[in-house]
Amino acid sequence: MSCPLNHSAELNPAVLPLDWLLGTWQSDEPGEGSFPSISPFRYTETLHFSHVGQPVINFMFNASHAESKKPLHRECGFIRLQPGTNKVAFIIAQNSGLVEIEEGELTGQQLTLHSTSLARTSFAKQPYVQQISRHIQLKPGGRLEQTVFMALEGQPLTQHLHITYRRTD
């Protein structure tokens, strides 16, 4: 599934500070996933960041198991900037039935986010996610790096995912 850039629409000035994200990114090596309650795993992921001229960036993240290629985690949503500030919000829907809002700051080409609101389907799998933090940064050399921290019921905020990507378009 792809989210091509809309080259016919001009990028809304409200999201110009996020233009470095636009495009398709593919993990250049498998990422590492772990958490105290699961076995460590390796995964690949494709990120699509696009726009249609509105004051938001659209995104879709698709992860697969590195060895079996079985689809894993899916996230899609929108990124908004509070006008006149460096405050940023991710509005995210996940294939697990979790919906979240993460808010934080944009500093140069670095995003630091923390969940402010979590909701889930009535039949979501337990233990429930209690908190998520995310750090996305464009590194020297053009690689994008993402680290995700997660807390579950009875488990403190712990690094869950770490991966780097290269732009493919």
- Running along the chain, 169 residues long, what does each successive block of 10 average in pLDDT? 59 97 96 93 98 98 97 97 96 96 98 98 91 97 97 94 96
Which pLDDT does position 37 carry in this prediction? 86
- Residue at 31: amino acid letter: G
β-strand 87-94 against 98-106: which pairing, if any? antiparallel
What is the rounded distance in angstroms from the CA atom of residue 4 to the CA atom of residue 10? Answer: 14
What b/e readout covers 134-150, taking b as 16+ CB neighbours within 10 angstroms? bbbbbeeeeebebbbbb
CATH of domain 13-167: 2.40.128.20
* Residue 58, both tokens: 């659209």
Q: What's the whole-model pTM score? A: 0.92
Q: How much is the pLDDT for 7?
A: 55
